[in-house]
């Protein structure tokens, strides 16, 4: 499973949308369930799934699939 596929599954399960709806360019604005509460739930799911600790100041910038993938890459998650 690629990093994108793992992220796709995590976002889909957390925000309760079919994983197929998550594309390489999906942003928070594309999914109604990716609201402020969805963002908090997603951050917690990302920390659990990828074993990373996300600082509070980074929460707001992780609002798209590309931003999350870049963040994970910068933190050594491949």
pLDDT tens digits along 54-74:
999 999 999 999 999 999 999
Residue matched to tokens 């969805």: 38
Residue 23 resides in a domain: no
- Domain tally for the chain? 1
Q: What pLDDT score does 41 carry?
A: 97
Task: Let me know if residue 73 belongs to a domain.
Answer: yes
pLDDT per residue as tens digits for the range 9-50: 999 999 999 999 999 999 999 999 999 999 999 999 999 999
Residue 78's pLDDT band (cuts 50, 70, 90): confident
Residue 31 DSSP code: -
Tell me how far apart the alpha carbons of residues 14 and 38 are, in angstroms, rounded to a whole number.
8
Q: What is the C-alpha separation between 52 and 23, in angstroms, rounded?
A: 22
- Asked if the structure places residue 70 within a domain, the reply is yes
Q: Which domain holds residue 6?
A: 1-12+32-78
Indicate whether 46 belongs to any domain. yes
Query: Is residue 44 one of the residues assigned to a domain?
Result: yes
User: In 3D, which of 57, 55, 56, 47 has the Cα closest to residue 77?
Assistant: 47
Whether 17 is in a domain gets the answer no
């Amino acid at each position: 499973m690629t990093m994108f596929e793992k992220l796709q599954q995590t976002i889909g399960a957390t925000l309760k949308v079919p994983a197929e709806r998550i594309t390489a360019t999906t942003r928070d604005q594309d999914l109604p369930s990716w609201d402020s509460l969805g963002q908090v739930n997603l951050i917690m799911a990302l920390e659990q799934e990828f074993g990373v600790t996300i600082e509070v100041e980074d929460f707001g910038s992780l609002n798209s699939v590309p931003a999350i993938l870049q963040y994970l890459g910068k933190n050594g998650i491949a």
